[in-house]
């Protein structure tokens, strides 16, 4: 990924932070977007600057559900590093509630960040990639979009319907982008992590009983580490995966093989 620039949203912690490090390790400049946790973003940027001296690194605040913020994220990245080659839309939140008890506010907040945010980032990325075209000797593609999805793009999740609805929306957004823009040499794919040890689900893996219950849903019998996801992201951003377009790669330890059916059904 040498001489390329990558924007990673929600990169101040969890999967996004690990992805930023993996992308920098492959030689790309990284733009670490954060919404509220500036201190963490600075820490990630400092560790990248120390470990990978040849790459550029910057942090930039933006709420991905805000149109002006997203435009300014792209403009700032471009003025710092020049053309942008990779967009990794990773920001995601949960606001959990049973469906009959879910407030409109909880519903909208998750749709705004997890679905509309992915649309806004993809739209700016598409404009950028269409304007740049294929940059010779840099990449075989005009640009790469990677959406961070979830197993819940296919697995229903009753206590989290806003989240599952947003992620399944992301799948159709991703496929529509591939369908419309693959001819312009733009690649768009999703990664669907399973249960990954990050702050978003610390209430589960931080509790012994809940953690044991969760493991029953994972045939590989362990949660993912953010690095399990990050290595797939850096490969998917590279020309090694050039012919992969319009698909979701599940990185879930077998969660979507529904282990609850081993002896039932
Ligand atoms: C959610 C996690 C959950 C995992 C598996 C992810 O997308 O953010 O909280 O553990 O899916 O259910």
Whether residue 74 lies in the annotated active site: no
What are the b/e assignments for 160-175, b being 16+ CB within 10 Å? bbbbbbbbbbbbebbb
94-102 average pLDDT score: 98
- Which of these is catalytic: 52, 74, 163, 181? 163
Strand partners, 250: 192
Residue 201 Cβ inside 6 Å of ligand 1? The answer reads yes
Q: Per-residue pLDDT for 264 more than 90? A: no
Helix (H, G, I), strand (E, B) or coil at 88: strand
Query: Locate tokens 């999703």: which residue?
Result: 190
185 Cα: distance to centroid of ligand 1 (angstroms):
32
Pocket test for ligand 1, best of 150, 190, 215, 251 (most atoms within 8 A of CB): 150
CA 149–ligand 1 middle distance (angstroms): 10
Mean pLDDT to the nearest integer, 247-259: 98
**DSSP code per residue over 229-248:** HHHHHHHHTSGGGTT--S-E
Does the pLDDT at position 150 exceed 90? yes
Residue (of 228, 192, 248, 233) closest to 23 by Cα position: 233
Distance from chain centroid for Cα 131? 23
- Verify whether ligand 1 is closer than 6 Å to residue 194 (CB atom): yes
Across 20-173, the runs of DSSP E, i.e. the strands, are 29-34, 57-61, 86-89, 143-148
Q: How far apart are CA 68 and CA 53, in angstroms?
A: 32
pLDDT at 144 over 90: yes
pLDDT at 265: 85
pLDDT digit string, tens, across residues 11-44:
999 999 999 999 999 999 999 999 999 999 999 9
Instruction: List pLDDT tens digits, range 166-223.
Output: 999 999 999 999 999 999 999 999 999 999 999 999 999 999 999 999 999 999 999 9
**pLDDT of res. 151:** 98
Q: Tell me if 152 CB under 6 Å of ligand 1.
A: yes
Expressed in angstroms and rounded, the spacing between residue 119 Cα and the centre of ligand 1 is: 21
From 10, 113, 149, 151, the mutation candidate for ligand 1 (largest count of ligand atoms within 8 A of CB) is 151
Cα 214 to Cα 218: distance, rounded to the nearest angstrom: 7
**Paired sense of beta strands 143-148 and 86-89, if any:** parallel
Note the pTM of the prediction, 2 decimals.
0.98
Number of helical (H) and strand (E) elements in the chain, helices listed first: 9, 7
């Amino acid at each position: 990924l040498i001489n390329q620039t990558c924007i990673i949203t929600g990169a101040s912690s969890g999967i996004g932070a690990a992805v930023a490090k993996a992308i920098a390790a492959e030689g790309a400049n990284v733009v670490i977007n954060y919404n509220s946790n500036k201190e963490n973003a600075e820490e990630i940027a400092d560790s990248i600057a120390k470990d990978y001296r040849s790459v550029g690194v910057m942090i930039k605040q933006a709420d991905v559900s805000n149109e002006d913020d997203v435009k300014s994220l792209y403009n700032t990245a471009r003025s710092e590093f020049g053309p942008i080659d990779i967009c990794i839309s990773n920001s995601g939140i949960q606001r959990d509630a049973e469906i009959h008890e879910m407030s409109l506010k909880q519903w909208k907040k998750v749709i705004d960040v997890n679905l509309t945010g992915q649309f806004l980032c993809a739209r700016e990325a598409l404009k950028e990639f269409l304007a740049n075209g294929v940059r010779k000797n840099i990449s075989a593609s005009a640009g790469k979009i990677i959406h961070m999805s979830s197993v819940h793009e296919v697995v229903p999740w009753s206590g989290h319907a806003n989240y599952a609805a947003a992620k399944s929306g992301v799948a159709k957004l991703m496929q529509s982008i591939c369908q419309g823009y693959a001819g312009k040499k733009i690649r768009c794919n999703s990664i669907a992590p399973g249960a990954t040890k990050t702050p978003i689900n610390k209430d589960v893996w931080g509790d012994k009983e809940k953690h044991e219950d969760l493991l029953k849903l994972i045939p590989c019998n362990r949660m993912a580490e953010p690095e399990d996801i990050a290595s797939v992201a850096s490969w998917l951003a590279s020309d090694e995966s050039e012919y992969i377009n319009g698909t979701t790669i599940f990185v879930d330890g077998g969660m979507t093989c529904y282990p609850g059916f081993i002896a039932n059904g």
